[in-house]
């Protein structure tokens, strides 16, 4: 009985929050016990979890700037010999052979200085050479390499010994997000962050894009495609070198400067990390590294993701955990990232990887032992435990976001409450909903009940990040919301010198309203993909054979918002006003909104959140001069955001100032309305959203 009570204590928080988990308590307990078993084993074998994750300091190749010695340590089982080869020794496999440290695949070599200098020059090329039992020699990139660059004559990447004499020194502390403001994420890709048809740089992003993000009011950047990937068009999701950052954007010191500058602006930076799978590349990736199919990966069919054409990690392998946990700590320590957005979490959570599986919300789908991959869940728990320990030691606040479409219960609960540890999950159903609506329904067919349900349908106690569209909707083959709304007229009728056409008028109005509704109702955080805030007119397509290796669509045209004669500036300003609404009043990280009205005929939605009153009129033609809405708190209200304002490209139909030039006041009546204690009258023009704030209680 005592044992059973202690087991249940591991998941008490989860059960208290969601009693429907009770029939699946054994599955939850098993995850927790497996995590604790692994945690104890790592403490006993490595000293502590943090020491284990510090392996990046010893594994790989490192130069000691005091002694000028170079030490290389590698885990390479099932080979006869290991050598370090490169420009420094004319790629000779005989001169720098590593010594076998133990029978578990560990090899090491210390290279003394030559004439008082490092024997291997900074940024020179090197590889790991291995002799197999067959006598064959194979050559591979160092799995722990901090730098990899493409060869001048072919596309295969080459490892570089990154050992600068001086490294970038961080000047700014990591900023924190102070409640009640929530996390406002600007999802960005350094390479496309330039109007020119070329690859953008870390320095360009630092100088030209960070100021725009700061102006908009986002407090977090999620950097995509940073970990080195040989194929640019993979969008960074086919990683070849996990400890190297993409050299196509610049140097490691350039990325450090970017992150440090962002911190100086009060902006936190998250890394889009891919630990769900790895590239199949052999020459410049991890695949078949030591001549076997199971180096860090599952062997056989289980080690392959057929749809993604990639390799799958073996999370029960001690050295795989060392590699992945060290990878996270490396980016925390060396680059000062403030957390991670974990890609492909659904694929990790389930043995079927979510392929052709329609999640219905039935709890059996989340706990079926034949479907759920507990090994991957334990890895994710170890990762969060590691970050919790760093946070405790260094008073650092980390943020983790799960890309999970399944809705796995407890994913975003602390480990101490019986959860996996994530802070947020992405609300992936929301953008799908908006695209379906814009693609298939006319304005009068919009189902407000369904829209509100989708925006508010999230697990109690587990935070979500809402978004109307992300990079997924920007990719070629799909359309952004702006493109669904305005299509080809974005090329011809976005100038303020031309007449405002019905299509562009509708597009501008609904683009703002869709975002504000998602922002206000959809979650405890908000995300936007770069360029979409101003209605970027083109999709995203990376250079590839199918488009003639063109960079025309692999860019973001920020020049459009700098042109005062174009209407893109209106959407940019509104997006900024929306972010500052949360900054000033607190919308996101507050209790879920109370929706008092969803009127299908009028196409009006009304809700309250943290003292703000949101009113939306989605009707395409009908304006309401004295519309009665319910509100709980009695007093005087005034407008703090109006999508119809002239500065946002609206028609200025609402008089925001009175005869004395002061903000127009809205007074409540002591009349119960729509299940609220009070009511007030407002003018809401068609296709307009307004937000009112209580100025004075009575």
Residue among 158, 187, 284, 403 flagged as catalytic: 403
Task: List domains and CATH numbers for the chain.
Answer: 54-160 (2.60.40.10), 181-240+427-449+464-590 (3.20.20.80), 594-697 (2.60.40.1180)
Check if the beta carbon of residue 682 is closer than 8 Å to that of residue 629: yes
Is the pLDDT reported for residue 450 higher than 70? yes
Distance CA(303)–CA(300), nearest Å, equals 6
Q: 419: which DSSP letter? A: S
Mean pLDDT of 312-330: 98
With beta carbons less than 8 A apart as the criterion, state whether 55 and 326 touch: yes
Q: What share of the chain is helix, strand, coil (3-state, %, to 5)?
A: 35, 25, 45
Is residue 243 predicted with pLDDT exceeding 70?
yes
Predicted confidence (pLDDT) at residue 373 exceeds the cutoff of 50 = yes
The pLDDT assigned to 406 comes to: 93
Contacts of 619 (CB under 8 A, 6+ apart): 602, 603, 604, 686, 687
First to last CA, the chain: 56
Active site residue 5: no
Residue 398 pLDDT greater than 90, yes or no: yes
pLDDT tens digits along 213-240: 999 999 999 999 999 999 999 999 999 9
pLDDT tens digits, residue range 284-303? 999 999 999 999 999 999 99
| Distance in angstroms (rounded) separating the CA atoms of residues 239 and 275 | 9
State what percent of residues in the chain have pLDDT above 70: 99
**Residue pointed to by tokens 């502390």:** 173
Choose among 129, 146, 156, 160: nearest CA to 284: 156
pLDDT band, residue 476 (cuts 50/70/90) = low
Q: Helix, strand or coil for residue 2?
A: helix
Q: Which residues contact 484 (CB under 8 A, 6 or more apart)?
A: 435, 438, 439
- pLDDT tens digits along 495-531: 999 999 999 999 999 999 999 999 999 999 999 999 9
Tell whether pTM > 0.85.
yes
pLDDT given for residue 479 in this prediction: 84
Nearest to 221 by CA among 197, 192, 187: 187
Least confident of 105-114, 147-156, 547-556, 601-610: 147-156
343 is catalytic: yes
Give pLDDT tens digits for 49-97. 999 999 999 999 999 999 999 999 999 999 999 999 999 999 999 999 9
Query: Cβ atoms within 10 A of the Cβ of 693, count?
Result: 17
Residue 180: is the preceding peptide bond cis (ω within 30°)?
yes
**DSSP designation for 526:** E
d(CA 32, CA 7): 9
Q: What percent of the chain has pLDDT over 90?
A: 91
pLDDT at 5 over 50: yes
Tell me which of 131-140, 352-361, 570-579 is least confident.
Answer: 352-361
The three state secondary structure string of 128-159 is: EEEECCCCCEEEECCCCCCCEEECCCCCCEEE
Catalytic residue among 158, 343, 524, 575: 343
Sequence-ordered strand ranges (E) for 247-336: 268-273, 304-305, 310-311
Cα separation values, 204 from 1, 39, 198, 210, 507, Å: 63, 42, 12, 9, 31
User: What's the whole-number mean pLDDT along residues 153-162?
Assistant: 90
Which residue(s) pair with 558 in the sheet?
A: none
What is the pLDDT averaged over residues 183-206?
Answer: 97
CA gap 469, 187 in Å, rounded: 11
> Which residue, among 404, 420, 418, 421, has the nearest Cα to 359 in the 3D structure?
404
The lowest-confidence range among 29-38, 314-323, 349-358, 562-571 is: 349-358
Give the model's pLDDT for residue 330. Answer: 98
For tokens 């029939």, the residue is: 23
Average pLDDT over residues 310-327: 98
Cβ contacts of 174 within 8 Å, gap of 6 or more:
263, 268, 336, 338, 396, 397
DSSP 233: G
User: Is residue 1 predicted with pLDDT exceeding 70?
Assistant: no
């Amino acid at each position: 009985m005592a044992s059973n009570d202690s087991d249940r204590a591991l998941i008490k928080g989860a059960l208290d929050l969601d009693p429907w988990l009770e029939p699946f308590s054994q599955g939850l307990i098993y995850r927790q016990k497996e995590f604790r078993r692994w945690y104890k084993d790592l403490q006993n074998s490595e000293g502590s979890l943090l020491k284990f994750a510090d392996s990046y300091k010893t594994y790989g190749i490192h130069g000691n700037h005091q002694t000028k010695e170079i030490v290389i340590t590698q885990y390479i089982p099932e080979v006869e010999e290991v050598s370090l080869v490169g420009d420094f020794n004319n790629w000779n496999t005989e001169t720098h052979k590593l010594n076998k440290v133990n029978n578990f695949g560990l090899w090491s070599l210390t290279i003394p200085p030559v004439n008082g200098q490092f024997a291997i020059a900074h940024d020179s090329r090197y590889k790991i050479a291995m002799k197999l039992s067959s006598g064959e020699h194979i050559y591979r990139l160092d799995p722990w390499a901090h730098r990899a660059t493409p060869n001048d004559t072919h596309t295969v990447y080459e490892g570089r010994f990154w050992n600068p004499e001086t490294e970038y020194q961080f000047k700014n502390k990591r900023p924190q997000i102070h409640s009640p403001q929530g996390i406002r994420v600007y999802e960005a890709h350094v390479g496309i962050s330039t109007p020119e048809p070329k690859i953008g740089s870390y320095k360009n992003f630092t100088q030209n894009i960070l100021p725009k993000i700061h102006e908009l009011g986002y407090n977090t950047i999620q950097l995509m495609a940073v970990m080195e990937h040989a194929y640019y068009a993979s969008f960074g999701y086919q990683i070849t070198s996990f400890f190297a950052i993409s050299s196509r954007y610049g140097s490691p010191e350039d990325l450090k400067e970017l992150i440090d500058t962002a911190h100086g602006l009060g902006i936190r930076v998250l890394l889009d990390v891919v630990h769900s799978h790895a590239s199949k590349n052999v020459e410049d990736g991890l695949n078949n590294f030591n001549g076997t199919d199971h180096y860090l990966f599952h062997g056989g069919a289980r080690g392959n993701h057929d749809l993604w054409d990639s390799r799958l990690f073996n999370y029960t392998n001690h050295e795989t955990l060392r590699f992945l946990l060290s990878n996270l700590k490396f980016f925390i320590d060396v680059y000062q990232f403030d957390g991670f957005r974990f890609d492909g979490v659904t694929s990790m959570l389930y043995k079927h990887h979510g392929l052709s599986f329609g999640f219905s919300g039935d709890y059996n789908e989340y706990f079926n032992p034949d479907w759920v991959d507990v090994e991957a869940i334990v890895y994710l728990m170890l990762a969060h435990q590691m970050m919790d320990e760093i946070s405790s030691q260094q008073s650092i606040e980390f943020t983790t976001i799960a890309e999970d479409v399944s809705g796995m219960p407890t994913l975003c609960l602390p480990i101490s409450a019986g959860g996996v540890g994530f802070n947020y999950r992405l609300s992936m159903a929301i953008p799908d909903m908006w695209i379906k609506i814009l693609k298939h329904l006319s304005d009068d067919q919009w189902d407000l009940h369904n829209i509100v349900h989708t925006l508010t349908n999230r697990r109690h106690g587990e935070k979500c990040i809402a978004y109307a569209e992300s990079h997924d909707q920007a990719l070629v083959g799909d359309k952004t919301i702006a493109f669904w709304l305005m299509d080809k007229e974005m090329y011809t009728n976005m100038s303020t010198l031309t007449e405002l056409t019905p299509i562009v008028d509708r597009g501008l109005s609904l683009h703002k309203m869709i975002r504000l509704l998602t922002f206000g109702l959809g979650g405890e955080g908000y995300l936007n993909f770069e360029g979409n805030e101003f209605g970027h007119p083109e999709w995203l397509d990376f250079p590839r054979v199918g488009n003639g290796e063109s960079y025309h669509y692999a860019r973001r045209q920020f020049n459009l918002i700098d042109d005062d004669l174009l209407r893109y500036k209106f959407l940019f300003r509104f997006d900024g006003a929306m972010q500052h609404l949360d900054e000033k009043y607190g919308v996101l990280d507050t209790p879920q909104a109370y929706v008092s009205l969803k009127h299908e005929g009028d196409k009006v939605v009304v809700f309250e959140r943290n003292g703000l009153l949101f009113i939306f009129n989605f009707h395409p033609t009908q304006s309401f001069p004295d519309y009665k809405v319910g509100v709980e708190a009695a007093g005087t209200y005034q407008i703090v955001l109006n999508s119809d304002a002239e500065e946002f490209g609206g028609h200025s139909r609402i008089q925001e100032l009175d005869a004395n030039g002061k903000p127009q006041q809205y007074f409540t009546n002591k009349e119960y309305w729509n299940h609220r204690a009070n009511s007030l009258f407002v003018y809401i023009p068609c296709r307009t959203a307004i937000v009112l704030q209580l100025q004075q209680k009575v």
